[in-house]
Amino acid sequence: MTWQQGAQYDAQVDLLRKLANTFTRFTVGEVDGQPILLDDRLPTGECVRIDGPAAPDLMRHLFHLNYYALLSLVGLLEAARGTKAQSNAVELLKQLKLDQAPVRQSENS
Of residues 2 and 76, more confidently modeled: 76
Query: pTM here?
Result: 0.74
Instruction: Give the number of C-alpha atoms closer than 13 A to the C-alpha of residue 54, restricted to the C-beta side.
Output: 3
Domain map (residue ranges) of the chain: 7-22+66-99, 24-64
Q: Mind listing the pLDDT tens digit for each residue in 6-42?
A: 899 999 999 999 988 888 888 888 878 888 888 877 7
Cα(99)–Cα(97) distance, rounded to whole angstroms?
5
Cα(56)–Cα(9) distance, rounded to whole angstroms?
34
Q: How large is the C-alpha radius of gyration of the chain?
A: 17
* Average pLDDT over all residues of the chain: 85
Burial label for 47, CB within 10 Å (0-12, 13-18, 19+), is middle
3-state DSSP: the chain helix, strand, coil percent, rounded to 5? 50, 15, 40
Give mean pLDDT, residues 43-62. 83
